[in-house]
Amino acid sequence: MPQPLPLLLSPVTVGPLTLRNRVVMGSMHTGLDDRARHTDRLAAFYTERARHDVGLIVTGGCSPDVSGWLLPFGSMMATRRTADRHRAVTDAVHAEGGAIALQLLHAGRYGYSPLAAAPSSLKSPISPFRPRALTTAGVQRTVEHFVRAARLARRAGYDAVEIMGSEGYLLNQFLAARTNRRTDAWGGSADRRRHLPVEVVRRVVEAVGDDLAVVYRISLVDLVEDGQTWDDVLALAHELEQVGVHALGTGIGWHEARVPTILSQVPRAAWASLTARLRAHVDVPVMAANRINTPEVAERLLADGTADLVSMARPFLADPALVTKAAAGRSDEIMTCIACNQACLDATFANRTVSCLLNPRAGRETELVLLPVPETRRRAVAVVGAGPAGLATAVAAAERGLRVTLFDAADELGGQFRLAMRVPGKEEFAHALAAYDRQLQVRGVDVRLRTHVRPADVVGYDDVVVATGVVPRAVAFPGHDDPRVVSYAAVLAGDVVPGPRVAVIGAGGIGVDVSTFLVHEELPGDHGTSGPETVTHFLARWGVDETVSSPGGLAVRSAPAPARQVWLLQRKTSRIGAGLGRTSGWAHRMTLRDNGIEMIPGVSYDRFDDAGLHLTLPSGASRVLPVDHVVVCAGQESERSLYDALVAAGRTPYLVGGADVCAELDAERAIREGTELASRL
């Protein structure tokens, strides 16, 4: 049989380092990096990825000094004591045949710390702290601190250092006129703004380059006003090569940019053409990154000459065994990251340990363990409901060796999650369901669809897990029973195709998703639904100048006309969309605004009739929205009828996911609860 992924799995040399393959696990701040007491958990996290054949692991960003802290007392490499503590991590990775790079990251004005320092004293829009401007001597000391950190990385047993020069952190801040207003030797013209990153790399290569690979992560497009042009990027790349850098990683967009770079609505490998352009101009190996989430996409980028290595970060939270499965020709078992950011980046920004919506064991490798059940205790388990909670319970219980039957009344797996994948930008949710389907087969779960379970159906099972989820909540104003007042489930399932003017009741996550669906979904007669967006459309819609000839690579945004006129309503007076994800909510809100959706908080619903939906506004005034349909997205209620009937019949079933608590339910909680329950069965 031909070797799957021959390029991705082939070795590559980066400076003094030879890697077993071209797969890089990109840097992620895990929340375990910052405290010595978490070293064992951090080692376990990296070990699980190294054991599964990742070529090079890059750690979360580690500051060279206090002024570069991401957070107060955050991860820093400044003493021999710290370096010696890191040995636990590097030894664990090496024991699995892996290689590991320490990422050196000075946060600059992104530091969430009163001690933050930057090229100029300009506050960033994403941190409450105004940084102090580094003095000229302070810049020189910063170079020394990078060198010290690199030497300590060598002492700690790292194989490489990655110098973080993208995403709008300190070195990127020095490069851009937006943030570098200095008049000394480290600012002014573009070549003087390049001076610090080049000097850092020159000195680090000089200090450790014979022993460690030195990688610089270069920003290919800043996506902010007064950012770099492509000429600036190329000039930097050439100067870095001249001072001996061993490889170039790539980054896209600053954290404060208002263009999504890795969210689910970004097409896969959307930024690859920039990486290919860079590679054509340099001799050192180049790594592609950003919104690459499968080994097949990675292989394609190597085959078409885009890059020499491929970095994926979040995909290794979703599935640590991604490389091993791909190498064994079992890619269909990979749990592919759906780019939701919910349990990873949103958690980081909330100062919590990262994990993954699809893999709650990520970051909890030592705590959430699926121990095998001895042969004599292999009980028969009925799991009722194949939404995220039931799927996670069934897969994890079967992994432990329990005999699992999974029931669902529907004719397909997925529950509410199946509706989510109809939303533009959430198409990849389908991959998660396909992976669950495959994992059920591989683990021998007996799946019975189209089976509405009653207590008599589960009499012979030792344990019953009720994962019957939620049902949409109904509303009760006059006219609610009109056939033009419909639930989100009917609309997303395609049972109802709303007319050109629609009111959406409820502005939670589902109301926002349904509004997005309505403005994208073509009307009847327009020949069906739109699929995932193309890269060209995506870049045009978000105003990206692909040539990066303008500073920061920004262009005028050009959005297609919305398919419908939509009003999005809620009773609360708070800002609409305030409860959306920390790292994704802004993009959803921009999409709503770009599509002309009128958002009205603080309403009460009076009635629906042929004139439309009658509202009372917060001012007390009345308003009629002349709509063809009303789509109700007013939350959900737990579906507990099976549970109640089982209890009435004297059984003690387990309850999990939305069937247990519907308030603030999402797939992350449903999957986490299912996995945790399975670990205890």
CB of 266 to ligand SF4, least distance (A): 12
Query: Letter for the amino acid at 641?
Result: S
- 46, 158, 169, 654: the catalytic one is 169
Binding of ligand NAP by 577 (CB under 6 A): no
| 480 near ligand NAP, judged by CB under 6 A | no
Name the binder of 343 from ligand SF4, ligand NAP, ligand FAD, none, CB < 5-8 A by kind: ligand SF4
Q: Give me the least distance between CB of 363 and ligand SF4, in Å please.
A: 10
Interface map 482-501 toward ligand FAD (x if CB under 6 A): ----------x---------
Distance CA 488, CA 510 (A): 8
Query: According to the binding rule CB under 6 A, does residue 292 interact with ligand SF4?
Result: no
Q: How far apart are CA 82 and CA 88, in angstroms?
A: 11
3-state secondary structure of 645: helix
- Determine if 357 is a binding residue for ligand SF4 (CB under 6 A): yes
Rg (CA), the chain: 26
User: Contact with ligand NAP (CB under 6 A): which of 161, 269, 507, 655?
Assistant: 507
**Maximum alpha-carbon separation in the chain:** 81
User: Taking a C-beta distance cutoff of 8 angstroms, is the pair 240, 199 a contact?
Assistant: no
Cβ neighbours of residue 431 closer than 8 Å, sequence gap 6 or more: 336, 338
Residue 88 CA to residue 559 CA, distance in Å, equals 51
Q: Does 358 bind ligand SF4 (CB under 6 A)?
A: yes
Q: Which of residues 332-351 bind ligand SF4 (CB under 6 A)?
A: 337-344
Decide: helix, strand or coil at residue 88.
Answer: helix
Nearer to ligand NAP, 21 or 342 (CB): 342
CB of 571 to ligand SF4, least distance (A): 30
In angstroms, the CA 39 to CA 72 distance is: 18
Minimum distance, C-beta of residue 317 to ligand FAD, in the bound complex (Å): 15
Q: Kindly state whether residue 447 participates in binding ligand FAD, applying the rule CB under 6 A.
A: no
Q: What CA–CA distance (Å, rounded) separates 14 from 22?
A: 10
- Going edge to edge, which strands form the sheet with 446-448? 446-448, 403-407, 380-384, 463-466, 654-655
Q: What's the min distance (Å) between Cβ of 162 and ligand FAD?
A: 31
Which region, judged by CB under 6 A, interacts with ligand FAD, from 266-274, 406-414, 556-564, 586-594?
A: 406-414
> Least CB distance from residue 670 to ligand NAP, whole Å?
10
Q: Which stretch binds ligand NAP (CB under 6 A): 30-38, 50-58, 519-527, 569-577?
A: 569-577
606 binds ligand NAP (CB under 6 A): no
Q: Does 342 bind ligand NAP (CB under 6 A)?
A: yes
Smaller CB separation from ligand SF4, 54 or 485: 54
Burial class of residue 465, CB neighbours in 10 A (0-12, 13-18, 19+): buried
Annotate each residue in 298-327 with x if it binds ligand SF4 (CB under 6 A) or - if it does not, as one string. ----------------x--xx---------
- CB 508 to ligand FAD: min, Å: 10
List of residues 6+ apart from 159 with CB closer than 8 A: 17, 56, 90, 99, 100, 101, 212, 213
Strands 117-118 and 99-104: unpaired
CA angle 514, 519, 522 (to 5 degrees): 105
Quick one: what does residue 80 bind among ligand NAP, ligand SF4, ligand FAD, none, with the CB cut-off 5 to 8 Å set by partner type?
A: none
Q: In the chain, what is the straight-line distance between the N-terminal and C-terminal CA atoms, in Å?
A: 40
Count CB atoms within 10 A of the CB of residue 155: 15
Q: Which of residues 621-680 bind ligand FAD (CB under 6 A)?
A: 639, 642, 657-658, 665-668, 670
Residue 475, burial from CB neighbour count under 10 angstroms (0-12, 13-18, 19+): middle
The binder of 581, among ligand SF4, ligand FAD, ligand NAP, none, by C-beta within 5 to 8 A per type, is: ligand NAP
Q: How many residues bind ligand NAP (CB under 6 A)?
A: 22
Vertex 373: Cα angle to 370 and 374 (nearest 5)? 150
H-helix or E-strand spanning residue 59: strand 56-62
The piece of 305-313, 419-427, 543-551, 616-624 that touches ligand FAD (CB under 6 A) is 419-427
Cα of 375 vs its chain's centroid, Å: 38
Q: What share of the chain is helix, strand, coil (3-state, %, to 5)?
A: 35, 15, 50
Coil, strand or helix at 398: helix
Give the nearer residue to ligand SF4 in terms of CB position, either 331 or 341: 341
- Distance between CA atoms of 134 and 109, rounded to whole angstroms? 11
Q: Is 516 in the site for ligand NAP (CB under 6 A)?
A: no
CB of 663: closest distance to ligand FAD in angstroms?
11
Binding pattern for the stretch 372-401 against ligand FAD, x by CB under 6 A and - elsewhere: ------------xxxxxxx-----------
386 interface partner picked from ligand FAD, ligand NAP, ligand SF4, none, CB below 5 to 8 A per type: ligand FAD
Q: Which residues, numbered 333-352, are part of the site for ligand FAD (CB under 6 A)?
A: 340, 342
What tokens appear for 512 in the block? Answer: 């926002």
Do 271 and 284 meet the contact criterion of CB atoms below 8 Å apart?
no
Options 222-230, 274-282, 391-399, 664-672: segment touching ligand NAP (CB under 6 A) = 664-672
Q: Considering only 134-142, 253-261, 377-385, 660-668, which stretch makes contact with ligand NAP by CB under 6 A? A: 660-668
Is residue 169 annotated as part of the catalytic site, yes or no?
Answer: yes
What is the smallest separation between the CB atom of 589 and ligand SF4, expressed in angstroms? 19
Asked whether position 506 contacts ligand FAD by CB under 6 A, the answer is: no
User: What is the set of active-site residues?
Assistant: 169
* Site residues, ligand FAD (CB under 6 A): 340, 342, 357, 384-390, 407-410, 415-417, 419-420, 423, 452-453, 467-470, 492, 509-510, 513, 639, 642, 657-658, 665-668, 670
